[in-house]
Amino acid sequence: MSRMKYFFNQAKKNIIRNGLMSVASLFTIICCLVILGIFTILSLNVNLITDQIKDQCEIQIFIEQSASEERVAQIYDEIMAIDNVKSA
């Protein structure tokens, strides 16, 4: 237990002796954490925005009225065979 007390006393003395370097190291750590936080928030926002855009993607298809029911069913099957199609 006395070793831990000695260690903390020495750490306290050295922080006081080297005050400028202690402040500089704290400032550096704070800057790094702020930059990391900013990039994390930006990354989360970009992911959220891309998910919202992906969900809003919509394509409309117009078929001539003269198309037969078989052709309409064939087009429907072709659309449903495409990856990432939720409904048609």
Give mean pLDDT, residues 9-27: 91
| Count of other CB atoms within 10 angstroms of residue 40 | 10
* Residue-level pLDDT at 74: 92
Rounded to whole angstroms, the Cα distance separating 79 from 63 reads 13
Segments making up each domain of the chain, as ranges = 2-81
Burial class for 32, CB neighbours closer than 10 Å (0-12, 13-18, 19+): exposed
Q: What is the pLDDT of residues 31-79, one digit of tens each?
A: 999 999 999 999 999 999 999 988 787 878 888 888 899 999 998 888 8
- Are 34 and 42 within 8 A, CB to CB? no
